[in-house]
Structure 1
Amino acid sequence: MAVQERYDTRPFGPDITAGMGVQLLLLEVLCRVGGLGTVGWFTGCLFAVATWALLTVALRRTWTTSFGPANRVTLARTILVGGVTALVADSFDRRTPVVVLVTFAAVALALDAVDGQVARRTGTSTSLGARFDMEVDAFLILVLCVHVAIPLGAWVLAIGLMRYLFVAASWVLPWLRGALPHSMARKTVAALQGVVLVAAGTGVLPRASAIAAVAVALGLLVWSFGRDVAWLWRAGVAAGVPPVAAIGGPPLAGVTSRRAGPDR
C-alpha cells in the first residue's frame, strides 16, 4: 500500500499527554469501582509512562507534525489495553472483575478495524501508524495469553510470544525481513487469536473446551507463521539474501515483513 503523508499543523504532544491522563483516570476508576489493587495500579501506571515515552520518541524521530485521527483511535485502544494489563497483573494477587477485563479487551479488538479505515479515508496512512497499531495488537494478545495461561497452563504463552520470537529471529536471519504478500488467511488467523483468547478468558467455557479452542488457534498460528517463513526463505534465496546476518554488521533499523509491521 502506498504510504500517504498528510497532516494538519497541530502539535502531537497534547494528544499523547491527554491519552496518558485518560489512562491514569481509568486506573483510578478501576481502583475505586473495580477494586484494583496496588500491583495492578503500579503496572498500569508503568504501562502509561512507557507508552507516552515510546510514542514521543517515535513521533519526533519521524518529524511528524500531527498525531493524526487514526493514531488517536489506536491511542484509545492503547488506553483499554492498559486497563487490561493492570487487571491481569492484579489477578496474580487477588480476584479481578473478569467482565470488565473481557469488555475492555473485546472493545480494543473491535476497534482494530476502525483505525485502519480512518487512516485510509483521511489519507493519513503511515508506516509509523501501522507499526503503532501492530504493537498494540501484539501486546494485547500477549497480555491475554498471560491471563488465559493462569487456568490453562503456560503453553498458551506461545501464541503471544510467537511474533516477538519472529522479530528476534529476523535480527539474525536477514531473509525474514522481506515483505510478505497480502493474505486474507494471515489476517483471519491473527484475528482469531484475539477472539479465542477473549472467549477462553471469560471462564464461561468448560476447561476442556477452552483448551481445545486455544490449541486449535495456536495450531493455526503455527501454520500461518510456517507458511510465511517458507515463502520468505524462497524469496530470500531467489534474491540472493545472505542466510545469516554478517557479524558486526549494522543493527536492524526496522523489519519490513508484514509479520512485524502490517499496513493499516
Structure 2
Amino acid sequence: MSILRNISTGRLPAPALMVRTGVHIALGMLGVILVAQTISAEWGLPAQSLMQVVAVYTGISVFVCIQLRNHMPQRNFGAANFLTLIRAVIVSLFAGIVGHSSLVPEMGAWLLVYVGTIALILDGIDGWIARRLRLHSLFGARFDLEVDAAFIFILSLLVWDSGKVGAWVLLGGAMRYLFVFAGCAIRALRQPLPPNRRRQIACVIQTATLLFSLSPDVQPIVASSANGVALTILIISFGRDVRLLLASERAAGIHP
C-alpha cells in the first residue's frame, strides 16, 4: 500500500479505484499468460518466451500501481485506460517474440502485423475516449506515453532480430529512454511538454514503419530505407522538444 502513497499530499487513491484497477491488472495478467502459452505451443517457442511476456507485463503493472495516485479525482479505471491496458497486453505478448523471431511461421508474422496495427489504432481511440468522456488524468497520459514507448522499443528489437535492419534501428526504440536518462542530469528536460500534433505524428510514423518492416513480404533494403526516414523524423521531433525545453529554461532562469 505504501507504494501508492502520494508523498506530496499524503493521500492514497480511493479504495474503490485501487480495487477496480487491481481487477483489471489481474485479468490482464490472466489473459497474457493464456495467450502466451497458446502461442508458445503453436509456434514452438521456448519457456523463456513466457517469462519475457510476464516480466514486461509485471513491469507495466508496477508502473500503474506507482502512478495511480495521479488518476485522482477519477474514481474508476476508465474506458480509455482499459484500452491502454489492452495495448499493454499486446506489447507484453510481442515481447515474448524477441530473440525467437526465427521460430515464428509466416502466418504468425502476418498475425503480429495485424495485431500490432490494432494496437496502433487503439492508441488513437483511447485518447479520443478520454477527451470525449472527460476521463483524462495525468496518470492516463503517462500510462499512454509509456506503453507507446515500450511498444516502439520492442518493435525495434523485433525488426533488428529479423535481420532486415541493422542495430541502428534500436536508436528509435531507445529514444524515449535516452531522453528520460538525459533528464536525470539536465533539469530543463524534466519539465512537462505541452501536447503537440507533430510529436504524435512522429510516434505513429515510427510505429507504423516498424510494423511494416515485420511484414514477410518486405525486403531488407525497403525496411532499411523506410526506417531510416522514420528515425530521421523521430530525431527531428525529439530535437525540437529538447530545444523548446532548453529555451524555456533560459527564459525562466532554470539551471541544470
TM-score tier after normalising by the smaller chain length: 0.7 to 0.9
Aligned partner of 2:9 in structure 1 is none
Residues 42-81 of structure 1 correspond to what in structure 2 (within 5 A)? 42-59=51-68, 65-81=75-91
| Aligned mates of 1:134, 1:160 — CA distance in 2 | 13
| Aligned mates of 1:127, 1:60 — CA distance in 2 | 9
Aligned partner of 2:234 in structure 1 is 221
Q: Does 1:88 align with 2:98?
A: yes
Aligned partner of 1:129 in structure 2 is 140
Aligned with 1:205 (options 208, 218, 241): 218
Which structure's relative contact order is higher, taking Cα pairs within 8 Å and 6+ residues apart?
Answer: 1
Q: Which residue identity does 2:133 align to in structure 1? A: T
Q: CA separation of 1:57/1:37 partners in 2, compared to 1, >3 Å: closer, same or farther?
A: same
Q: CA separation of 1:137/1:61 partners in 2, compared to 1, >3 Å: closer, same or farther?
A: closer
The CA deviation string for residues 5-54 of structure 1, in whole angstroms up to 9 with x for no partner, is: xx995632211111111111111221233333222122112223333333
| Aligned mates of 2:207, 2:71 — CA distance in 1 | 30
Q: CA separation of 1:17/1:190 partners in 2, compared to 1, >3 Å: closer, same or farther?
A: same
Aligned partner of 1:251 in structure 2 is none
Q: Does 1:192 align with 2:202?
A: no
Aligned partner of 2:38 in structure 1 is 29
Q: Does 1:105 align with 2:116?
A: yes
| Residues 210, 227 of structure 2: 8 Å contact kept | yes
Aligned with 1:117 (options 121, 128, 132): 128
The CA deviation string for residues 75-111 of structure 1, in whole angstroms up to 9 with x for no partner, is: 111111111111224326x345212222222111111
The CA deviation string for residues 212-245 of structure 1, in whole angstroms up to 9 with x for no partner, is: 1100111111111112211211111011010x2x
TM superposition shift of 1:143 = 0.5
| Aligned mates of 1:231, 1:54 — CA distance in 2 | 28
SS, match of residue 96 in structure 2 = helix
User: Which one has a larger percent helix, Structure 1 or Structure 2?
Assistant: 2
| Aligned mates of 1:147, 1:197 — CA distance in 2 | 9
SS, match of residue 88 in structure 1 = coil
The CA deviation string for residues 134-154 of structure 1, in whole angstroms up to 9 with x for no partner, is: 111100100010111121111
Could you list the runs of 5+ residues in structure 2 that have no partner in the other structure? 1-13
Aligned partner of 1:148 in structure 2 is 159
The TM-score, its normalising length taken from structure 1, stands at 0.82
| Aligned mates of 2:93, 2:123 — CA distance in 1 | 16
SS, match of residue 36 in structure 1 = coil
Q: CA separation of 1:53/1:235 partners in 2, compared to 1, >3 Å: closer, same or farther?
A: closer
| Residues 8, 66 of structure 1: 8 Å contact kept | no
RMSD over aligned Cα atoms? 2.2
| Aligned mates of 2:126, 2:195 — CA distance in 1 | 19
TM superposition shift of 1:207 = 1.4
Q: Which residue identity does 1:172 align to in structure 2? A: A
TM superposition shift of 1:60 = 5.6
TM superposition shift of 1:61 = 7.3
TM superposition shift of 1:183 = 2.9
Which stretch shifts more, 209-218 or 48-57? 48-57
Aligned with 1:157 (options 151, 170, 174): 170
